[in-house]
Amino acid sequence: MLKDLGTPARGLVRAAGVPREVRRRRTILVLIILACFTLIVLDARRSAGSPVEPLRTGAAAVFGPLESTASSARQPVDNLRDRFAETDRLKADNEKLQAENDRLKQELNTTDYARNRAGELDGLLRIAPKFTMTPARVIGVGALQSFNHTVTIDAGSADGVRADMTVVNGSGLVGRVVRTTQSTSTVLLIGDRNSTVGGRLNSTLALGFVSGRGELAGTLDYKLVDLKAKPRVGDRIVTWGSSGNAPYVPGVPIGVVTSVSATAGALGTTATIKPYVDPTRIDTVGVVTGPPARAPRTQLKPSTTAGSAR
Amino acid sequence: MIALRVGLAALLLMLAVTIQTSVLSNIAVAGVTCDLVLIVVIALALSRGPEWGAISGFVGGLLLDVVPPADHTAGRWALALAIAGYVAGLIRRETSAGPVGPLGVALTVVFGSGLSLLIYSATGALLHDPSVEWSQFGVRIGIAAGYDVVGAIVVIPLVMWLMSRFTAARERRRVTP
């Protein structure tokens, strides 16, 4: 570094002189690194109420509408992507067929579940829970560079969405709301490594836990509570629900078992689950904002579920 | 003029964050999107030097940390991009007096994306974030670097041209009296 001729801001350097300028930029770097570490330390203690939270709220308030607007530019981008490869065109065709299938599949899954519950619990025909939902669109997707499986949706506290609400779409469970602002919310997908959902095998009603693997396809791990119980390939898994319906409501289809293996280094078995929801193609979702219109067990309406499931 | 330049940089960063989170994620390759913010930071660093690189990296990274759908500890991308921006500015200073050639820019982008992803993952590991997987780290760094170079081909000349317009006017004024 002889004369610093390569400095982009030539005027500045001439005025300041080399050593002072170097000192200054080092001071700036050190200050910035210290600021980053301060931020990380402040924000790492989530339980104590992070001071960064107002910043997030503010950022969401500014960028939510921007993202909403920008994602309307998605149509041409989508078209571009479809033009890139023939497989994508086939995928689009496939998607259309799948959409038709989705309704039928979900009905099949819930009937199965309902039938088992009915036999198991009280011999009554269980009515599949019909919850109040708020529809929303995905307007931002977390990049895998961040190892995060989160999306932003365009419904917020103004629409009655609060943290710890279940998010579903036509094919099954998407995730849960972790943070909301006035007009947007952040959804943690079930494929994230931070996510654990209580899941119930449709065939035996055995309980277990579904946790994300952090993979692109959203593949999930399933561990049963009962170490002796064994899931079978092809078994379907639905949520068993949390108390007060938060964060997960019962009876939402999660996925299907694709392979079963012994848990490495522990007792019991781990099943690999292919989720019904393809995490790369989530668009319209529903946030469960209210309990079922009536408690499922108080009334018997054989005509609603049993009839429509045919 | 300085205010104008700062405003331009801020506008570019905001635009980059918006596009990266809502549009580019739809054309992700194996889930990895183009780090538009990183590219803008590197472009600013290349045109204005390491201080600008560090500060714009901090601001851009902080935006990535707090703008939804981010759900990680704030400050991690800020740290990663600030250091990447600073180093990119240094590369610009040390290599040559003339403008950096296309190959130099491409190498800077590859290096910057690798460095920032490494710092981001390392801070995650320090914080015991369960979502950081080192097994997939190599693949993602490769895809990200390649994708970033493709993005940089379009974005960096554009940003540097914008910045140089404002710089040139300022320096012209300085020289003439």
Q: Provide the pLDDT for residue A13.
A: 46
Whether residues A129 and A162 share a domain: the answer is yes
Q: List the helix and strand counts (H, then E) for chain B.
A: 6, 0
Claim to verify: residue A173 and residue A289 sit in the same structural domain: yes
Total domains in the fold of chain A:
2
> Given an 8 Å threshold on Cβ–Cβ distance, is B120 in contact with A10?
no
> Would you give the distance in Å from CA B88 to the centre of its chain?
9
In 3D space, the residue among A219, A244, A236, A225 whose CA is nearest the CA of residue A295 turns out to be A244
Contact at CB, B31 and A44, closer than 8 angstroms: no
Instruction: For chain B, give every domain's residue range.
Output: 2-175
Answer whether residue B10 shows pLDDT above 70.
yes
Q: Which residue has the higher pLDDT, A74 or B173?
A: A74
Q: What is the pLDDT of residue A18?
A: 62
Q: Looking at the structure, do residues A140 and A159 belong to the same domain, yes or no?
A: yes
- Please check whether residue A101 lies inside any domain of the structure: yes
pLDDT tens digits along A274-283: 988 888 777 7
A230 shares a domain with A185: yes
A154 has a pLDDT exceeding 50: yes
- For residue A87, CA distances in Å to A83, A93, A206, A277, B134 come to 9, 10, 39, 19, 30
Q: What ipTM was predicted for this assembly? A: 0.80
* pLDDT for A5 beyond 50: no
| % pLDDT > 70, chain B | 89
pLDDT at B23: 80
| A119: number of Cβ within 10 Å | 13
Proportion of chain B above pLDDT 90, given as a percent: 13
- Taking the whole predicted model, whether its pTM rises above 0.80 is answered as no
Q: Shortest CB distance from A152 goes to which of B14, B69, B94? A: B69
Of A306 and B131, more confident: B131
> Which of A51, A70, A90 is where one domain is finished?
A51
Average pLDDT across chain B, whole number: 82
Q: Which of the two residues, B101 and A206, has the higher pLDDT score?
A: A206
Domain match, A44 and A99 both = no
Q: Which of residues 60-79 of A touch B (CB under 8 A)?
A: 60, 63-64, 66-68, 70-71, 73-74, 77-78
Is A289 found in the same domain as A181? Answer: yes
pLDDT at A135 (0 to 100):
79
Q: Are residues A77 and B75, on separate chains, in Cβ contact within 8 Å?
A: no
C-beta atoms of B171 and A11 within 8 A = yes
Asked if residue A179 and residue A47 are part of one domain, the reply reads no
- Residue B40's pLDDT is 92
Nearest C-alpha of chain B: how many angstroms from A186? 5
Mean pLDDT of all residues in A115-119: 51
Task: Map tokens 């929801």 to a residue.
Answer: A277
A47 and A110 housed in the same domain: no
A205 occurs within a structural domain: yes
**Residues B129/A192, Cβ–Cβ less than 8 Å:** no
Q: Please list every residue in chain B whose beta carbon sits closer than 8 Å to the beta carbon of residue A40.
A: 73-76, 79, 123, 127
Chain B hits for A33, CB-CB cut-off 8 Å, are 79, 82-83
Among A55, A66, A185, beta carbon nearest to B18: A66
In this structure, are A66 and A123 located in the same domain?
A: yes
- Parent domain of A28: 21-51
CATH of domain B2-175: 1.10.1760.20
* Region of poorest pLDDT, from A249-258, A264-273, B11-20, B37-46: A264-273
Lowest mean per-residue pLDDT among A174-178, A297-301, B27-31: A297-301
Asked whether residue A299 is domain-assigned, the answer is no
For the ranges A147-151, B25-29, B64-68, B121-125, the lowest mean pLDDT is seen at B25-29
- Clarify whether residues A82 and A162 are in a common domain: yes
**B149-171: per-residue pLDDT in tens?**
888 888 888 888 887 777 655 55
Distances (CA, A) of A88 to A81, A83, A299, B56, B173: 7, 7, 47, 37, 54
pLDDT, residue B41, reads 92
Residues A46 and A69 in one domain: no
Q: Is the pLDDT of residue A151 over 50?
A: yes
Residue A309 in any domain: the answer is: no
Q: Is the pLDDT of residue A307 over 50?
A: no
Instruction: Tell me whether strands A150-153 and A173-180 are parallel, antiparallel or unpaired.
Output: unpaired
From A239's Cα to the closest Cα of chain B, the distance in A is 23
Handedness of CA A157, A160, A161, A162 (dihedral sign): positive
Residue A88 and residue A117 in one domain = yes
Cα–Cα distance between A138 and A79 in angstroms, integer? 18
CB A7 within 8 A of CB B98: no
Q: Which of A258, A211, A254, A206 is CA-nearest to residue A227?
A: A206
Cis bond upstream, residue A247 (ω within 30): yes
Distance from CA of B144 to the nearest CA of A (A): 8
CATH of the domain at A92: 2.40.10.350
B74 contacts A143? CB cut-off 8 A: no
Mean of pLDDT values over A57-75: 79
**pLDDT recorded at residue B30:** 73
- pLDDT of A53 strictly over 50: yes
Residue B60: pLDDT band (50, 70, 90) is: very high
